[in-house]
Amino acid sequence: MNQAKREYNEAPFEHDWATPVFLPDLLKGRELCLTNEEKEMLLEVSAFPTPGHSPGHISVQLLTPEGTVVLAADALKTAREASIDVPDLEFDHQKRGQASLQDVLRRGRVIVPGHFPQMSTNAHGKISLSGVQELPLLFG
């Protein structure tokens, strides 16, 4: 966990309706490794800062034979954010979300967003989606 994120969890911004409700219980009783920079957690698995959604947000990068996989979490939540290059729901007052979103897209051959099926990028940075399911709309 990022030190800035821990500090933010203890005193979130007033307009943040999610962090105070969910995160303290998720972290309770867990041993945390605090860092403020990119850090290799395991061989070929690194956490890197992606501030924006919250000041100390981090994402995870895995180096695989097929290419780099980024577990973006809330740095890139949906395909919409990737397509318009603008993050939704940014609690960070410094507005670093767009730079973090671009970093995720630059690093990842495969990107797992926080709230959407996985995406892939080609050598030219073009995004494709996988695992998208059809949802019929019924009107009555």
Q: So what's the pLDDT on residue 109?
A: 92
67-72's contacts with Cβ under 8 Å and 24+ in sequence apart are: 67/109, 67/110, 68/107, 68/108, 68/109, 68/110, 69/108, 69/109, 69/110, 69/111, 69/112, 70/104, 70/107, 70/108, 70/110, 70/111, 70/112, 71/112, 72/104, 72/108, 72/111, 72/112, 72/113, 72/114
Q: Is residue 88 part of a domain?
A: yes
Q: Is residue 23 part of a domain?
A: no
Q: Is residue 140 part of a domain?
A: no
Q: Is residue 41 part of a domain?
A: yes
Instruction: Give the mean pLDDT of 16-36.
Output: 72
Q: So what's the pLDDT on residue 34?
A: 72
CATH number at residue 47: 3.60.15.10
Which domain range does residue 62 map to? 37-129
Q: Is residue 24 part of a domain?
A: no
Q: Is residue 139 part of a domain?
A: no
Low-confidence winner among 67-71, 94-98, 107-111, 127-131 (lowest mean pLDDT): 127-131
Instruction: Give the mean pLDDT of 11-19.
Output: 70
Q: So what's the pLDDT on residue 20?
A: 59
